[in-house]
Structure 1
Amino acid sequence: MIESAGTFLSLSRNVCRFRLLPCFLLIPFSVTPVASADAAYDLPDLVCPSGARLAKGKHFPSVAAARAALRAPPEQSAGLGVIANPNALDDQRAKAAMLQSKAFSAAGRHPQQDHRNFQSLLDTKLARLFQPATDQDDSNNANLLPDSLASANPAPGFRRLGIWGDSHLASGVFVEELARRLALQGVSVGTSFIPPYMPRRGVRLPLRAFCLSDDWRFKGIFQADAQADTGPALAEMRSRGQAAASAQPTGSQQLGKASQSLASPSASATEAFLGLDLRDEEKQSDITALRMLYRTLQAPLELSIAINHQPERMIRFEEATEPSAVTKFLIEAEDGGRLSTLSIRVLSGELAIQGFEIDRELNPTLSIDTLAFPGATVNGWAQLNPSSLMSLIENRPYDAVILEYGTNEAAGDFDPSQYTEDLRQALTKMREVMPKVPCLLIGAPDRGSTDRVIRSQRATRSVRSGNFDRTLRLKASLIHKQVNAIQSRIGSQFGCHSWDWQQAMGGPGAAYRWARAKPALMSRDLIHLTADGYRQSAEVLAVKLGWGQSQTSSRASGAEAVREVPR
């Protein structure tokens, strides 16, 4: 193996169980290492090439809070009431959770409700199944072990929660509210996966920002005509096919079937480009490695990759894998360095990216991955190859799952029989991948029709005028009621519990009352909720799961809880 003091890129042609197995081809980069970990925080912002768009993302507040807790000296931590041994892992996570809850509270407005409703909304059976791990469960420092070893001896409660869904969850507001409730219970929350949803608008990603050229197209697995190999994102972003490499590499070094070299600066500006700013809002990063899930769609494939604004290096794949095969590409910094920015250009061939696994210096108590995008349906699960997904998440299995679908399935000509069959097929595949994990199905929220005049309490302007009768008014609502009933019936056959979102809102027709609420809880399209509506809905679910109230907050006066849902 060639030794170098620079940053390394590691290529894996197979999914490896243990990092030390000789299945990684190390491709050294001759770049100057960052002088210190903090130096990476001073890196400039992403600069998008001509024609690429810059978009903002958002981390959970816990990411910054956890890092702040690790940097806080003992005398500052004493005021938090959690200091014992400032170097202990449990104390670090406890401080992180405390700061995280404050960060969530400062992030925006949150609904409130009288605690008298807490016991009436709590589902004790569901709460037992969906009990997350706590810092006290981590006495063996399980998160410091390799993922494959830690999962073999799990502590009580789940540590990885996968939440799949559609546009209702894609904005991130709903899941962030769930995470906030967990933070109030002392559970530090983070993410372990970056899905490839950059080409889709309306999706909040766990990034500070990203750059994306127009040379990418988005493909959801639910649109596939046949069984598809996929990672947990159930989607991929595909680059536009490039001709043979226009860049003339210099100083090329051949390593097996792949080579790396300096990329020519004269490369075409039309090449597909993706830039990621992995830092949080404070320009700090605790990410030590990424594993890119990808497919080679057209060979030869050449990528130009740059880490932390260092010079680009070209990776050439001399052989193409089968187009359906999903493999992993390991990107890491040497000597424990952190990854702050990453840029990828496709010089030749065609690449499909299915997301990035994240390695951190300190894993949170609970990782929540939101795998939701607009237009998604449960058919994504019905179309996937379960053996492929099992192999890709084998070392990072999810030990709890939430599926939120139904709104898109109910649009158009809804066929209850076809939806029943699609859902049954999807849950069959899900159980092949995760046979014993706790499972919750979230049904479609209520939906109205914009053909009705809805007058605001603060103004007289209407959403839309037109003739309206009760049949049209409740048409979508009654279809959603069917969807939720089917989910409850079929889900129980696969050991999945159900949460009827529509019923939690007040039943069919509630969308109109939510639209008239002050502040409005339903958006003007009467399909999506407002940010306040999503927060309030998440509060109701959190209480049902037993996440709605911490021991500390229950003793404190003026503690936050769920506001009563308008009926």
Structure 2
Amino acid sequence: MPARFQPVATVGKDAPRIKSSRRGVSILQIGDSHTAADFFTDAARQALRRKFGVGGIGYMSVGTPHPGVRSNLLRVSASPGWTYEAIQRFPHPEVFGLSGFNASTSRQGETLTFSASSLEPYARIEIEVRTEPEGGTIVVEVDDEVRLTTALASTTPGSRMIKILAPAGESTFRKLVLRTGEAKPVTVSAVGIYRDGRGVTYSNVGFPGATVDVVGKLAEGALRNDLGRLSPDIVVLAFGTNEGFDAKLDPAAYQERYRSAVREIRTSVPKARLVMIGPPQGERPLPTCKPEEGKPCPAPGMEKQTAAEGENACPKRPAQLDKVREVQRRIADAERLPFWDWWAIMPGGCGASRWAAADPPLMAKDHVHFTKAGYRRGGESFAAFLEPEIKAMLRGEDAVSND
């Protein structure tokens, strides 16, 4: 199989490296909109950083590909001339990397900017770009200093990795700018900002509206190459909400597709720990109660439940969501994966309604997503769940076997 990336263009490759006696921990969470928004993941990230130290920014998409895709560590902005493609809606998955998004332009002087509120440490910056016969030029600036100018023209279309090493092995930055140098095609897929052997790096790769099937949409070898290059210590899978709202979902077929994604990730990074996050509670509005139906309308959040339904029943919750949770639990048991039950930290019954009515609200008005406070509660709880995994990994032990 040919290598996914062409040879890298590197700046600073002869710079002396600073060796660290501390081992870094790299976590990569792949999921749906709960992951893409970086509220849940940032709450987990900050809690783990306080415990184990500050790592790098990590792997991230570029520009503003979707309103629900963002970073809590950097302010990411783009000039108006960029257009975006997403793997979920594009017929040629081979042009995408792990981020699942491409930012493209054919105009000169367009910029992608990554700004930090304070100085951020880094050892290396990696920029994934596309090459093509008519490819243009990209200029990389770190704190207003041009660190690299490179042409993206190539007789063979494909992916290329641009790598910039920090002076003296490690440095800090406040602003990273990618600028197009001429009016020719430029496509950028992802940016990674890393430290070596320091603290926790927690990357979030999220796809709004996605199911676990998005893992299988990546072209053959793309997932394997990208995960192999990133080499995360822990891979977190966080899907289930969108599957749970799919009335036509076949649980048996879904189970096989999810296990296929697990197998592919294990093959890509056999030394990584895999962790599953089960879907949180979610609800859809009940049908409007009409007077001619001859029955009273229940007050919001006060729906009657029979004893047979149990204390966790909720008529506003789609039935498939319960089935998805059950399927994921079976997979976690069969594959011996740590399973964090997001559902369980919410109240019984219509937990989404109860959290939406809390003061302050913990659930958004759609009863599917969370407020910042709600995501913070979930992320901090998940961080506490991960702590034994990280401690065992740092000791060189297996907290939960993946065999």
What TM-score do you get using the length of structure 2 for normalisation? 0.75
CA distance in 2, matches of 1:178, 1:450: 30
CA distance in 2, matches of 1:193, 1:409: 26
Is 1:509 aligned to 2:388, yes or no?
no
CA distance in 2, matches of 1:346, 1:469: 64
Please tell me whether the aligned partners of residues 49 and 199 of structure 2 are also in contact (alpha carbons under 8 angstroms).
no
Deviation at 1:447, TM superposition (A): 1.1
Is 1:203 aligned to 2:69, yes or no?
yes
1:216-246 Cα shifts (integer Å, max 9, x gaps): 343343445576465432x122314x3xxxx
CA distance in 2, matches of 1:224, 1:425: 22
Is 1:411 aligned to 2:290, yes or no?
no
**Aligned counterpart, 1:309:** 144
Q: 1:193 aligns with which of 41, 54, 59?
A: 59
Q: 2:379 aligns with which of 512, 532, 538?
A: 538
**Aligned counterpart, 1:474:** 315
SS of residue in 2 equivalent to 1:326: strand
Deviation at 1:529, TM superposition (A): 1.3
SS of residue in 2 equivalent to 1:376: coil
Deviation at 1:403, TM superposition (A): 0.8
Is 1:383 aligned to 2:212, yes or no?
no
**Aligned counterpart, 1:213:** 79
CA RMSD of aligned residues (A): 3.9
Q: 2:163 aligns with which of 306, 314, 330?
A: 330
Q: 2:260 aligns with which of 422, 425, 438?
A: 425
Q: Percent of aligned positions with the same letter in both sequences? A: 22
CA distance in 2, matches of 1:444, 1:346: 44
CA distance in 1, matches of 2:358, 2:381: 17
1:92-118 Cα shifts (integer Å, max 9, x gaps): xxxxxxxxxxxxxxxxxxxxxxxxxxx
CA distance in 1, matches of 2:200, 2:282: 33
CA distance in 1, matches of 2:129, 2:114: 19
1:369-423 Cα shifts (integer Å, max 9, x gaps): 1112422321121222463333334354112111111112233433124433432
What amino acid does structure 1 have at the position aligned with 2:114? D
SS of residue in 1 equivalent to 2:221: helix
1:258-308 Cα shifts (integer Å, max 9, x gaps): xxxxxxxxxxxx558233234x313x2433532111223x53111241413
Is 1:141 aligned to 2:20, yes or no?
yes
Is 1:168 aligned to 2:66, yes or no?
no
What amino acid does structure 1 have at the position aligned with 2:262? L
Deviation at 1:515, TM superposition (A): 1.6
Q: Which moved more, 1:330-339 or 1:511-520?
A: 330-339
Residues 481 and 508 (structure 1), Cα distance of their counterparts in 2 relative to 1, 3 Å cut: farther
CA distance in 1, matches of 2:35, 2:278: 12
What amino acid does structure 2 have at the position aligned with 1:213? S
Is 1:347 aligned to 2:212, yes or no?
no
CA distance in 1, matches of 2:74, 2:9: 30
Is 1:321 aligned to 2:156, yes or no?
yes
CA distance in 2, matches of 1:445, 1:272: 43
Please tell me whether the aligned partners of residues 96 and 189 of structure 2 are also in contact (alpha carbons under 8 angstroms).
yes
CA distance in 2, matches of 1:354, 1:142: 33
Residues 176 and 426 (structure 1), Cα distance of their counterparts in 2 relative to 1, 3 Å cut: same
Please tell me whether the aligned partners of residues 293 and 327 of structure 1 are also in contact (alpha carbons under 8 angstroms).
yes
Residues 447 and 416 (structure 1), Cα distance of their counterparts in 2 relative to 1, 3 Å cut: same
Is 1:364 aligned to 2:198, yes or no?
yes
What amino acid does structure 1 have at the position aligned with 2:61? P
1:73-84 to structure 2, matched below 5 A, reads none
1:462-497 Cα shifts (integer Å, max 9, x gaps): xx989x887996253432111111111234333323
Is 1:236 aligned to 2:101, yes or no?
yes
Deviation at 1:327, TM superposition (A): 2.2
Mark the runs of 5 or more structure 1 residues left unpaired by the alignment: 1-12, 17-22, 29-88, 90-139, 144-154, 243-269, 454-463, 551-567
SS of residue in 2 equivalent to 1:476: coil
Is 1:276 aligned to 2:142, yes or no?
no
CA distance in 1, matches of 2:325, 2:231: 28
Residues 510 and 285 (structure 1), Cα distance of their counterparts in 2 relative to 1, 3 Å cut: closer
Please tell me whether the aligned partners of residues 136 and 152 of structure 2 are also in contact (alpha carbons under 8 angstroms).
yes
Is 1:300 aligned to 2:134, yes or no?
yes
SS of residue in 1 equivalent to 2:136: strand
**Aligned counterpart, 2:401:** none
CA distance in 1, matches of 2:102, 2:278: 27
Please tell me whether the aligned partners of residues 452 and 473 of structure 1 are also in contact (alpha carbons under 8 angstroms).
no
Deviation at 1:349, TM superposition (A): 4.4
Please tell me whether the aligned partners of residues 4 and 221 of structure 2 are also in contact (alpha carbons under 8 angstroms).
no
SS of residue in 2 equivalent to 1:429: helix
Based on CA coordinates, which of the two structures has the bigger radius of gyration?
Answer: 1
Deviation at 1:162, TM superposition (A): 0.7
Q: 2:334 aligns with which of 493, 512, 515?
A: 493
**Aligned counterpart, 2:368:** 527
Please tell me whether the aligned partners of residues 276 and 342 of structure 1 are also in contact (alpha carbons under 8 angstroms).
yes
Residues 501 and 344 (structure 1), Cα distance of their counterparts in 2 relative to 1, 3 Å cut: same
CA distance in 1, matches of 2:189, 2:139: 17
1:18-97 to structure 2, matched below 5 A, reads none
Mark the runs of 5 or more structure 2 residues left unpaired by the alignment: 13-17, 289-298, 392-403
1:392-471 to structure 2, matched below 5 A, reads 392-417=226-251, 418-451=253-286
CA distance in 1, matches of 2:201, 2:279: 25
Alignment size in residue pairs:
363
CA distance in 1, matches of 2:146, 2:26: 35
SS of residue in 2 equivalent to 1:394: helix
Residues 347 and 380 (structure 1), Cα distance of their counterparts in 2 relative to 1, 3 Å cut: farther
What TM-score do you get using the length of structure 1 for normalisation? 0.55
**Aligned counterpart, 1:3:** none
Residues 507 and 546 (structure 1), Cα distance of their counterparts in 2 relative to 1, 3 Å cut: farther
What amino acid does structure 1 have at the position aligned with 2:177? L
- Structure with higher strand content: 2
Residues 224 and 436 (structure 1), Cα distance of their counterparts in 2 relative to 1, 3 Å cut: farther
Residues 204 and 26 (structure 1), Cα distance of their counterparts in 2 relative to 1, 3 Å cut: closer
